Amino acid sequence: MIFYHRTHAADAILAKGFRNGLATYATGRPFSGVWLSDVPLGYGQGLAWDFDMETSQLLTVEMPLELVAKYEWVEILTPKQEAIYGGIPRGYREWLIPAKLVNRFAVKLIPEPELV
């Protein structure tokens, strides 16, 4: 399966590999890993509200889904979120995978025009 990662650190990742990020992601407890998705994410899709899409680059990593299935980030919506989103699926899936595992596979830079 091809996974996508939008970043401002593409050159560093291509040279030295991914590094684990660490944050609570609104859960109250820390989680670490590399965020990957099944589609290239855009505004309003799992990116920080202040993420600068204009200067970001898109990377891909191809890995067996079976190898990373346990790292899928399944968000359980609160009743308030259900009311806001109307129960409509986000339209994409995300994984928070340890960098050590992701770095076992080739990472490629995808020029944006190739996505059209």
pTM, 2 dp = 0.80
The per-residue pLDDT for range 95-112, each reduced to its tens digit, is 999 999 999 999 999 987
Give 60 or 91, the one with higher predicted confidence.
60
Query: Would you call 111 helix, strand, or coil by DSSP?
Result: coil
**pLDDT score for 47:** 58
pLDDT tens readout for residues 67-85: 999 999 877 767 776 676 6
Burial 20-31 (b: 16+ CB within 10 A, else e): eeeeeeeeeeee
